[in-house]
Structure 1
Amino acid sequence: MERFIEVSEGISLWVEARGPASAPALLLIMGANASGLAWPDALVDRLAQDYRVIRYDHRDTGASTWAFETKPYPLTRLAEDALAVLDALGHERAHVVGLSLGGFLVQWLMVAHPERLRSATVMCASALGGTPPLADGTAQAPIDPELLEFWSHMFEPRTREQEIAWRLENWRRLNGRVLPFEPEEFRALEERIMAHAGRADNPGAHARADYSALMRGAELPRVTVPTLVIATPEDPTTPASSSQHLAESLPCSTLVTIEGMGHALPRAVVPRVAEAILRHVHAVDGTRE
């Protein structure tokens, strides 16, 4: 089932739901400037065997409304959009899974609206408020400097083919250095996203949105939402110690490490990610796979 949901005046989000309509809802929240199609179909279909799985395009991504230039917003608006999606589909509560910025949005929901979450899963994201210091007390850079330099060219004018090439190189860097990078897999993804969005320019609104209201990390120790933290050791944006720090900040958390995984969801990691999420949500629901 696909539909558009109006979350505020003039702003509509593309939403897709799969799985039994009577099953508990499981909401997937993607990262910054990313379409919901970045959640692999294989992962969605596996989760949808047991749950009503919902993925959607953030505003200013994919087929949703692009209007940041005339209607700017803080990043917390994206978290509120997630609740609006649940409301529109008639779900009072849901298991919520977030990757990258989606992981930060899930944490904000855990703090601001814990009553809406059956459980939370966070991957490829550190605790709200930044990364922890290294063991010797020195500051730790949260993102690889070479990746930051690469990202500084994100919005340069490019042809469609040049844009695909830039995105493939971005995925190659995010994939990490352990798992093989399959460029055709990610080319197919990006071509599908461009066709879905009806445009080939690089979304960038979320990089310009105010993030300050997200910084509620001091409140995490009071959160009682059952939370799975997935550590991704090859992630160039989130050191493994950051995932451990996040798990230690939450009193009701479980930490699972997916060896070899970076800041991406290639087909090689999908079975392990699905298994970890399903084990977590089934435990919360008191059911078994």
Structure 2
Amino acid sequence: MERFVDVAPGARLWVEDRGAPDAPALLLVMGAQASGLGWPDELVESLAERHHVIRYDHRDTGRSTWSFDEQPYPLTALAWDSVRVLDALGVERAHLVGMSLGGMLVQLAVADRPERVLSATLIGTGALSSVPYERPAGTRIPAEELPGASPALLEMWSRPVEDRGPEAELERRVEHWRALGGDAIPFDASYAREQERRTIAHTGHHHAGTAHARADTSGMDRTEALARTEVPTLVVSAPAEPVYPPPHAHHIAQAVRGARLVEITGMGHALPREVHAPLAAAILEHTGRADRTERTDQAR
């Protein structure tokens, strides 16, 4: 079912939910400048076999309000948007799954609104923590010295995005996904192209958004709250990740109290068909474990 949700004055979000409404809710939170359609239908359907799955378009993406130039907001506001989506659907608590910037927004929810979070799954993201990373040998690396995005991506991001028409924009996005996917899984350009055609049709235009790259990033550190959280957290390790390369996932697992780590073979900073089954299995194992714990606690 599709609907629109008002999350702030002048800000309305497109929201879609699938699966049984009485099943445990699972909210999918996408990355910067990415529509909710960035979560592939095949993956959503797999998760909806056991969950009431909710995905949505951030502000300035997809069919949601594009108003950053008139009403700028900090990135932290996007985390509050996710909670307001739950409010609008009458969901008291949900499993949260976040990718890239979405993983940071989920960390903000874990830190600031833990009573709304049944479990958290973090994919392709960095820790909102200043805790140093401890290598297996015992030496430490300051959080700010962990490796950044690949040179190829940095070069791509440095180029100005010019409007050369819908087909040129489509091909630019396909090449971006080629770089994001890493070098372990063969890139399927036709699949990426079809996904982006659907996103452009869903949005109603081909213009590239830049709001999230321009939004205020201050006030996002949650070192202390993440170190003491009781929210069950799964961190997905992607060995071919080019945006938050190893050991970022291991750093998150150290920074978030009680976090578990699972590796998805060949995965980069994308969701090609090859990772749908193992990723869905990992998420469902994690949410199932959290749901069993929740039921046990309620029975006491």
Would the TM-score normalized by the shorter structure come out above 0.5?
A: yes
Match of 1:270 among 257, 276, 282: 276
Match of 1:169 among 161, 164, 175: 175
Do the aligned residues in 1 keep the contact of 2:253 with 2:261 (CA within 8 Å)?
A: yes
Distance 1:98 1:154 in 2: 27
Do the aligned residues in 1 keep the contact of 2:152 with 2:179 (CA within 8 Å)?
A: no
Please list, as runs of the form range in 1=range in 2, the aligned pairs for 1:111-190 lying within 5 A after superposition: 111-129=111-129, 137=141, 139-153=145-159, 155-190=161-196
Distance 1:194 1:113 in 2: 33
Do the aligned residues in 1 keep the contact of 2:129 with 2:255 (CA within 8 Å)?
A: no
TM-score (norm 1): 0.95
Q: Deviations over 1:51-88 (max 9, x none)?
A: 10000000000000000000000001100000000000
Do the aligned residues in 2 keep the contact of 1:132 with 1:242 (CA within 8 Å)?
A: no
In structure 2, the CA distance between the partners of 1:208 and 1:131, relative to structure 1 (3 Å rule), is: farther
Q: Displacement of 1:142 after TM fit?
A: 1.7
In structure 2, the CA distance between the partners of 1:248 and 1:131, relative to structure 1 (3 Å rule), is: closer
TM-score (norm 2): 0.92
Matched position secondary structure for 1:33: coil
Distance 1:105 1:184 in 2: 30
Do the aligned residues in 1 keep the contact of 2:129 with 2:226 (CA within 8 Å)?
A: no
Match of 1:249 among 244, 252, 255: 255
Distance 1:56 1:257 in 2: 26
Distance 1:66 1:131 in 2: 36
Question: Is 1:202 aligned to residue 214 of structure 2?
Answer: no
Unaligned runs of 5+ in 2: 294-300
* Larger CA deviation: 161-170 vs 123-132: 123-132
Tell me the equivalent position of 1:31: 31
Matched position secondary structure for 2:274: coil
**Percent of aligned pairs with the same amino acid:** 51
Tell me the equivalent position of 2:79: 79
Do the aligned residues in 1 keep the contact of 2:76 with 2:217 (CA within 8 Å)?
A: yes
In structure 2, the CA distance between the partners of 1:86 and 1:154, relative to structure 1 (3 Å rule), is: farther
Distance 1:87 1:237 in 2: 32
> Could you tell me which amino acid in structure 2 is paired with residue 274 of structure 1?
A
Q: Displacement of 1:215 after TM fit?
A: 2.0
Q: Displacement of 1:143 after TM fit?
A: 1.1
Number of matched pairs: 287
Distance 1:154 1:92 in 2: 42
In structure 2, the CA distance between the partners of 1:88 and 1:146, relative to structure 1 (3 Å rule), is: same
Distance 2:261 2:32 in 1: 23
In structure 2, the CA distance between the partners of 1:136 and 1:54, relative to structure 1 (3 Å rule), is: closer
Do the aligned residues in 2 keep the contact of 1:174 with 1:263 (CA within 8 Å)?
A: yes
In structure 2, the CA distance between the partners of 1:196 and 1:119, relative to structure 1 (3 Å rule), is: same
Q: Displacement of 1:42 after TM fit?
A: 0.6
Moved over 4 A (4+): 129-138
> Could you tell me which amino acid in structure 1 is paired with residue 146 of structure 2?
Q
* Larger CA deviation: 232-241 vs 147-156: 147-156
Match of 2:220 among 211, 214, 217: 214
Do the aligned residues in 2 keep the contact of 1:144 with 1:237 (CA within 8 Å)?
A: yes
Tell me the equivalent position of 2:60: 60
> Cα RMSD (Å) of the superposition?
1.6
In structure 2, the CA distance between the partners of 1:115 and 1:181, relative to structure 1 (3 Å rule), is: same
Distance 2:56 2:255 in 1: 29
Distance 1:131 1:143 in 2: 20
Q: Displacement of 1:155 after TM fit?
A: 2.4
Q: Displacement of 1:9 after TM fit?
A: 1.6
Q: Displacement of 1:214 after TM fit?
A: 1.4
Tell me the equivalent position of 1:193: 199
Tell me the equivalent position of 2:267: 261
Distance 1:13 1:23 in 2: 23
Do the aligned residues in 1 keep the contact of 2:74 with 2:216 (CA within 8 Å)?
A: yes
Matched position secondary structure for 2:282: helix
Unaligned runs of 5+ in 1: none
Matched position secondary structure for 2:44: helix
Q: Displacement of 1:137 after TM fit?
A: 4.3
Tell me the equivalent position of 1:11: 11
Do the aligned residues in 1 keep the contact of 2:120 with 2:233 (CA within 8 Å)?
A: yes
Matched position secondary structure for 2:16: strand
Tell me the equivalent position of 2:292: 286
Do the aligned residues in 1 keep the contact of 2:35 with 2:62 (CA within 8 Å)?
A: yes
> Could you tell me which amino acid in structure 2 is paired with residue 140 of structure 1?
L
> Could you tell me which amino acid in structure 1 is paired with residue 43 of structure 2?
L
